[in-house]
Structure 1
Amino acid sequence: MSGATSDSHDISELADTTHGLAGVRGDVAGPAVVAANIAAAQAHRPAGQRAADDEVSVAFDGELSERADGVTDAEAVLAAYRADGLAALGGLAGVWAVAITDRRDGRTHLAVDRIGGGTLYHAGITAGSHAYASEPTALLAAPGLTAAADDQAVRDYLRTGATDSGERTFFAGVSRVPAGHVTTLRPADGVVEATTEAYETAGVTPTTVDDTLAGLRGRKVGVHLGLGAPAAYLASRLPDAEVFVLTGGPTSTAPTSQATATALGRTPASVVASGDQLGTDLADLVRILGEPVPDLAAYATLAVAKAAAGVEVLVDPAGAEQALGIAVEQPKAKRTVDIATLLSNVDGEPAGRPDAVAAALRVADRVGAHTGVRVRLPFAGQEIPDGEQLAARLTPRVRAAAGAVRPAGPVREWLLRLKNRVYGTFLSESFTTRPWFAQQEILVAFEDFIKGRNADAAIFWRLLNVELWMAAFVDPKPEEQPAPAVKGPLEANSGKELEIAIDGERWLRFPVRTELFARGDDYQKLISGYVTGFVAAVRADGRHTGRFERPWYLLVSEKVVAIAQGRSYFIWDIQPNWWARTLSRFVVKTPYGIGLGSPWTMQLAIQEAGLPRILVASAAGAAGKVIGRRGLFYQVAGHSVRAIDGPTEYSAYPSNVSAKLAPAKPKQAATALTTAVRAALREAGEEAIADKLAGVVIIDANDIGRNVLGSAADRPDAFFEKLFADNPLGQGSEQTPLAVAVPAS
């Protein structure tokens, strides 16, 4: 694609040889290269069109619904502009975005259709240059533009669901060309000024829903039967269209949609969009959409478009609820969530307002670009019949089957199915450190959502969507590293040492990797098997066999014993009371674990030790802070409370969404394990090694402390706490809950 120069400012546009629109205007080194990089970042989009003469060039993305025969859309726009200038924009019907460069005055005009079906974004990339693209994420490929969140846009979205409102985007420094507007890039005094104004649409005949549908006849069309009556109306006006029904769960929208299809005399194609499938597609959904969206109706559109690969145009009823002024039926709940209580630093009124139609149009653009199926929303920005008139045009049978306006997908079901993942996200360190979230309040509200106390699925989707969007586009990306190799049986965990010196003695601690333990597991049998396998590995290696001729020890993480005993609980199965919620707020949290700093772990502490003892311990802890003595809380509360663990993002599932008590009767458990391990070794022919096992110790250890809970060994607890001074089992997802300790010399 050739460039040109005007007023010493470079112009570089790419359309016919690229995808979508991409360009740079102004003084910037290598404008063609920059434009090419931006274009490459949106290579999934359909190829754009270009038309030019000696003075004007047009780059066009989209589809005009009215133009003369024998010319392309771009040629039609060029002719209209040469005849009427920017006044021609209001007469262009269809879904489109256009970049017009007029070399007579050196200006570039960026415009989108009056409804907003086309999309175009721009940003200053240096002091004297401006870039534009069909998608905001593509602009991140331009030099000088660093991905950052627009704080006001994020806060407005979290509070109200506002997206695609005016010029503001979720990316700081990136602006949108609003529907029915033109942004003019004008070089002046070494800079590029961008001004945006609405173009004239007076006298333009509004397009009706029926006009839009009539224009699709003769093309291969599909209809998404979501939302009830509005979709039924679309399908009834397109008798030859294939119809698609979303299936997702026992209370999904499928039964209503199936009944509607039957009443229309059509056999629908079923599109599986279960919660599990959403979990698989979630990262792609966030990446495809580029910016957060108000609700998960976007996933319904994406799922149907993927399944409708054989059609040319997918007609979707999205936007009908706002256009018709009809509220979508929502499940009832005991209470609603005040979003302000879930957010930090909420002041003033939101600057943006929700616009479901604008958001749906952006979803249609992105989904169409990624799937190759044009997605059209006839209810978006069109002249339409009101709800009663629309229903009156349906036959009584279809009207009865379609019913009211319903959600596009089973959003509550989807989030419930993904609850482990949602909890893991809300518990993550990155989520905790965002400036917008009140994490503890969010966790409590989501717990209520799971238990049916509130039905505010859209709020929890917005919270999740912001975090996923930040991770995908804004957070620094760590350099890709190969997946860490699973450690060998005689190797230390990463960042740890095998050997340690204790009071003049040197010891080796061999971490033993296991599978994850689960409630009801026979932990004595499993642990005995892992130890026997480890001894076999020692025999095969030959270097350490002699070390078992002296007394040796097996140390077991208390976590696996507690889990097998059924003393680990998903946090949504724990019901914190007022005391638990209140006391947990005063616990200092550390990077090494949540401790009692969550309502769930505090509730377990209350259940384990009793509320009076926890209150006395809290008073002792508070007094200890005043006089500078640490640890008084746990001295009063007891070792069993100290061993309570909460969910942490770095733990392997299900520990990342669970809280657990200390093992029951840990001393007896250690004694029973000693007997079981000796028996298993003898059965394996290792009588001498079995005889030298000097006991099993059940220990609670992390990177900031150690505590023996139960011991059947011949040394004092203090020895084993020193033996684990550097926590050789690791703090993350190593899956090494056992350690065999042998003399190093």
Structure 2
Amino acid sequence: MCGIAGYYGLNANEALLGTMNDCMEHRGPDGEGVFVDGPCGLAHRRLSIIDVAHGQQPMATADGRYTIAYNGEVYNYLDLRGELEALGRTFETDSDTEVVLQAFAQWGGEAFDRFNGMFGLAIWDRDEQRLTLARDHFGIKPVYVCRVAGSEGGSPSEGLLFASEIRPILRSGLYEKNPNERSIYRYLKFRAHEDGTETFFDGIERLQPGEMLEADANGIRRSMFTRLREELLELATEQRPYDDAAAAEYKARLIESIRLRLQSEVPVGTSLSGGLDSSAVAVVINQLINDGDKTTESVGVQQNTFSAVFPNSINDEERYVDAVLDICTGHVDGHKILPKPEDFKADLRDFVRTQEEPLISSGPYAQYQVMREATKHVTVLLDGQGADEMMAGYIPYYAVYLRQLRAQGAKAAAAELSKSLDVLFRLGRFRVKAKLKGRKDVPVTSLLNPSFTSQWTDERFPVEQSNLKKRLVQDLFHNSLPSLLRYEDKNTMRFSLEGRVPFLDKEVVKFIFSLTDEAIIKDGWNKRILRDATRGLLPESINRRRNKIGFTTPQSEWFMRLKNHFYSIFLSESFANRPYFNQTEVLHAFEGWIKGSNNADTMMFWRFINLELWLQEYFDEEPQVDKATAQAAPKSDVEPNAGKALDLTTDRGETVRRYPLRTELFAKDDDLDAKVLARIDEFFETLPTAGAEHDAATKGRWYLFISEKIIAITQGRSFFVWDIKVGKPARVLSRYVTRTPAGIGLGSPFTMQLAIEEAGLPRVLYAAAGGAVGKAIGRKGLFYELVGNQIAAIDGPTEYSAYPSNVSAKLAPKDPDDVAARLSAGIRSRVPAAYRDAFAGTIVMDANDIGRNVLGSDVPDDKARFEEMFADNPLGQGSEQTPMALVFIQD
């Protein structure tokens, strides 16, 4: 498998081709090449599979007229080669690339419909000065295109970029990045994410399955090179009877499809989920090994299988994997991968980056993990992709079939319904259970910004509901399979693997569609023809399975485990500022899901998370890090935090030096005094080695400044947001508070609820009315003056804070003056004598990068004076973990 890229309509530019190629090294680590001729440039990265010693690309015909950059495998290439040789064409290599090139030279664009396999390719015709791009019948291999301005003063005036991935186009410098807001809306609303030609990048499109693009001096034209979709629907009208002979013929065709896809000069393995489809592939390969079939030389004596398993999870399929391994005993080496939620968290950004566009669930992460392991053992991997969409593998297909039968007659529909009740029950059981428990539905549009949704109210996502084969064709080419093939391509190529999908052999698919619908569903059994064809090959436990799980992750379990991490994403400033989301409502819905009080599901929340991380990755200027868990560079006690200074001269002329002290995180049950005093002891123990400058700076009066956050935490006045029971008054009132960055203040329902509980609703309403009057007359801060109770010190969750402050809200500490006095007494009882008399007291400080406020102290002094000492907030309560400082007055 390979990567292709290039341009048309630009001046010769090998540097551009090199840049685009560099983005795809993972797609082809075995070689690279570029080609330039007039307005066309081709780039290629090679993953060598067939004719490893030859077949380098771009490849040209002997006369130099045609040059190809090709990504794929055409499995009937040997038959085509024989046909071409009979027509007088000669070959210099054994590669399928040369067959594809010579076929185009012979038949032009009509050649593509002769291919049985997967491909994304670019062919330059030197004589006609025409670039041709094409994508295989099912869209197994991707081709992305983007129109750009042509070369200045030249012809043509419109240029074109193309590539196997989106990133080479982004890196070209010729495309101005913008998100496609229509795609974003359809994704959030309908779960559409591989929807027609449009991608999530405005102006970047994909070729459709079976589509060809031609670019020359007459412009850019797109057309279908195949009638496969129409052929399948036409075949569906033939209704060839389904019987044992048809099942036997299908079995022979499937075995041959798998044999063809074992052609390789590098090791081949199998992705084994435990489901019917991938298990069928594995057992057929095992049979071929037993029969001594020559094509299994690429597999070896033992077939390598790779399976993601989730012990003790509701969707674990390990027992089915083991059943297949048992049947293949002696000729199989089963590799089991155990993805964990902490792995998912660690890989999340790379996973999003790999996929290039949002996806509808975290399920493909299981495949991502499998591919990472598989690449250590094999270079080619077969799996069962596509079988569900051609043989009604998903439960909703039953409903479509029943509607079709009902239109044909009530008796047939009733008979099929009676044998499908258990399957249909699984489809609706969670919804029924939620209704019985009184859980509220959460429409996705209620979580979106109304000004965003109002632009797209006319959007629709029609789905065929009453004709089974029409629905299957729709899902094969539009609604379902394209996204699964994208996941497969991105995940395999991320780890330099070639994925092959034997069920997507166009002749095998045509055969299924020529049979009656009973070959697909009968008596409550879907994939009937596959079950019949593998009876005796597969364990009964798999052949007769009715509970479809799929190659996925235990998403709900993982979301509950990682809820604090996902909360931090929803609470981030970037999420709050997107034009797409209603942050308050998203948080409310997520809180309700955690508590089990609504009918929201993780699929919906995943779309918000995935979209946000995708926007961060591809559109935000600053590189994103997990601010709550990232660790700052180590520093000594006498060094400032990054971007801060030790010394400050106040407006009163005082010069102060602030030493921020790094600490362990504070928790509810911690002894505040013990941890603070021990840390101060450590400072004075290491001070003698700090040098003369610091020795001179610590001769005058000094204070302990301590963050109110850690006091509130140890007093039990910090609460996870999901534990705060937010009432309607808090939700309403928080909407009228001017939002401050990163969740500080009462602009959040969580912090407003704490304010109501601390001060009482009547007083909050009274203060709110006064605040409104204050705004009208230009007086700021009147709300906080009237409400009292240190409400101004309530902090919401802030994305830059270390866990758990990034997902917690806090009240002001209780009795801060007493806390200050207690800490001061402890300090005086233990610090070195040389510093005891100079110690002036403790200040409880609410400081951030917006403002600072002294909440308490045991020092009879002007609070404004201490606030001036922290005008630049030298503390850091995120990755720095420095919630207190020793402050020395330099006399």
User: When the two structures are superposed, what TM-score results if normalisation uses the length of structure 2?
Assistant: 0.74
Give the alignment partner of residue 221 of structure 2, picking from 182, 188, 195.
195
Instruction: Show the counterpart of 1:186.
Output: 216
Instruction: Show the counterpart of 1:11.
Output: none
Confirm whether residue 371 of structure 1 aligns to residue 495 of structure 2. Answer: yes
> Per-residue deviation at 1:688?
4.1
Instruction: Show the counterpart of 1:450.
Output: 594
Query: Matches of residues 325-724 of structure 1 in structure 2 within 5 Å?
Result: 326-327=394-395, 333=434, 334-344=439-449, 345-346=452-453, 347-350=456-459, 355-378=479-502, 382=509, 384=512, 385-387=519-521, 388=525, 390=527, 392-393=531-532, 394=535, 397-399=540-542, 402-407=545-550, 408-452=552-596, 453-477=598-622, 485-493=633-641, 494-496=643-645, 498-501=647-650, 503=652, 505-540=654-689, 541-543=691-693, 545=695, 551-591=701-741, 593-681=743-831, 686-724=832-870
Decide whether the 8 Å contact of 1:592 with 1:704 is kept in 2. Answer: no
Instruction: Show the counterpart of 1:8.
Output: none
Give the alignment partner of residue 319 of structure 2, picking from 248, 251, 258.
258
Q: Which structure 1 segments of 5+ residues have no match?
A: 1-17
Instruction: Show the counterpart of 2:68.
Output: 58
CA distance in 2, matches of 1:273, 1:236: 25
Instruction: Show the counterpart of 1:306.
Output: 372
Instruction: Show the counterpart of 1:154.
Output: 184
Deviations along 1:311-331, one digit per CA (max 9) or x if unpaired, are 454333445544416238675
Decide whether the 8 Å contact of 1:695 with 1:714 is kept in 2. Answer: no
Instruction: Show the counterpart of 1:4.
Output: none
Decide whether the 8 Å contact of 1:529 with 1:680 is kept in 2. Answer: no
Shift in alpha-carbon separation, 1:742–1:389, aligned structure 2, 3 A? closer
Decide whether the 8 Å contact of 1:229 with 1:403 is kept in 2. Answer: no
Query: Matches of residues 164-183 of structure 1 in structure 2 within 5 Å?
Result: 164-183=194-213
CA distance in 1, matches of 2:794, 2:274: 47
Look up the SS of the partner of 2:660 in the other structure.
strand
Q: Which structure 2 segments of 5+ residues have no match?
A: 29-45, 47-55, 82-93, 151-156, 236-248, 288-302, 397-425, 463-477, 513-518
Residue identity in the other structure for 2:554:
P
Query: Matches of residues 208-247 of structure 1 in structure 2 within 5 Å?
Result: 211-217=253-259, 219=262, 222-226=269-273, 228-239=275-286, 242-247=304-309
Judge which range, 500-509 or 558-567, deviates more.
Answer: 500-509
Residue identity in the other structure for 1:337:
V
CA distance in 1, matches of 2:585, 2:632: 36
Confirm whether residue 86 of structure 1 aligns to residue 97 of structure 2. Answer: no
> Per-residue deviation at 1:534?
2.5
Shift in alpha-carbon separation, 1:707–1:60, aligned structure 2, 3 A? closer
CA distance in 1, matches of 2:6, 2:480: 29
Decide whether the 8 Å contact of 2:616 with 2:624 is kept in 1. Answer: no
Confirm whether residue 294 of structure 1 aligns to residue 360 of structure 2. Answer: yes
Judge which range, 93-102 or 310-319, deviates more.
Answer: 310-319
Residue identity in the other structure for 1:216:
I
Decide whether the 8 Å contact of 1:230 with 1:405 is kept in 2. Answer: no
> Per-residue deviation at 1:642?
1.5
Shift in alpha-carbon separation, 1:137–1:705, aligned structure 2, 3 A? closer
Look up the SS of the partner of 2:486 in the other structure.
helix
Look up the SS of the partner of 2:829 in the other structure.
helix
Residue identity in the other structure for 1:108:
L
CA distance in 1, matches of 2:27, 2:852: 56
Look up the SS of the partner of 1:216 in the other structure.
helix
Residue identity in the other structure for 1:447:
E
Judge which range, 273-282 or 373-382, deviates more.
Answer: 373-382
CA distance in 2, matches of 1:26, 1:558: 63
> Per-residue deviation at 1:249?
5.6
Residue identity in the other structure for 2:4:
L
Decide whether the 8 Å contact of 1:548 with 1:692 is kept in 2. Answer: no
> Per-residue deviation at 1:358?
0.1
User: When the two structures are superposed, what TM-score results if normalisation uses the length of structure 1?
Assistant: 0.88
Decide whether the 8 Å contact of 2:352 with 2:613 is kept in 1. Answer: yes
Instruction: Show the counterpart of 1:45.
Output: 27
Q: Identity over the aligned pairs, expressed in percent?
A: 36
Look up the SS of the partner of 2:217 in the other structure.
strand
CA distance in 2, matches of 1:172, 1:614: 46
> Per-residue deviation at 1:542?
4.1
CA distance in 2, matches of 1:371, 1:504: 61
CA distance in 1, matches of 2:706, 2:173: 53
Instruction: Show the counterpart of 1:14.
Output: none
CA distance in 1, matches of 2:501, 2:760: 59
Shift in alpha-carbon separation, 1:257–1:247, aligned structure 2, 3 A? closer
> Per-residue deviation at 1:414?
2.7
Look up the SS of the partner of 1:696 in the other structure.
strand
Deviations along 1:88-134, one digit per CA (max 9) or x if unpaired, are 21121111112122234221111111111011122234324322211
Decide whether the 8 Å contact of 1:342 with 1:442 is kept in 2. Answer: yes
Look up the SS of the partner of 1:359 in the other structure.
helix
Look up the SS of the partner of 1:580 in the other structure.
helix
Shift in alpha-carbon separation, 1:670–1:319, aligned structure 2, 3 A? farther
CA distance in 2, matches of 1:40, 1:546: 55
Instruction: Show the counterpart of 1:9.
Output: none
CA distance in 1, matches of 2:645, 2:833: 31
Judge which range, 412-421 or 388-397, deviates more.
Answer: 388-397
Judge which range, 552-561 or 323-332, deviates more.
Answer: 323-332
Instruction: Show the counterpart of 2:163.
Output: 133
- How many residues align? The count is 717
Structure with the larger helix share: 2
Shift in alpha-carbon separation, 1:468–1:213, aligned structure 2, 3 A? farther
Residue identity in the other structure for 1:184:
E
Deviations along 1:630-653, one digit per CA (max 9) or x if unpaired, are 222212222432111111122222
Shift in alpha-carbon separation, 1:349–1:243, aligned structure 2, 3 A? farther
Look up the SS of the partner of 1:110 in the other structure.
strand
Residue identity in the other structure for 1:702:
N
Decide whether the 8 Å contact of 2:323 with 2:539 is kept in 1. Answer: no
Look up the SS of the partner of 1:680 in the other structure.
coil
Look up the SS of the partner of 1:44 in the other structure.
helix
- RMSD of the alignment, in Å? 3.2
Decide whether the 8 Å contact of 1:51 with 1:59 is kept in 2. Answer: no
CA distance in 2, matches of 1:94, 1:646: 56
Deviations along 1:24-59, one digit per CA (max 9) or x if unpaired, are 22232x333322321221121131753424332333
Instruction: Show the counterpart of 2:39.
Output: none
Decide whether the 8 Å contact of 1:556 with 1:699 is kept in 2. Answer: yes
Residue identity in the other structure for 1:33:
A
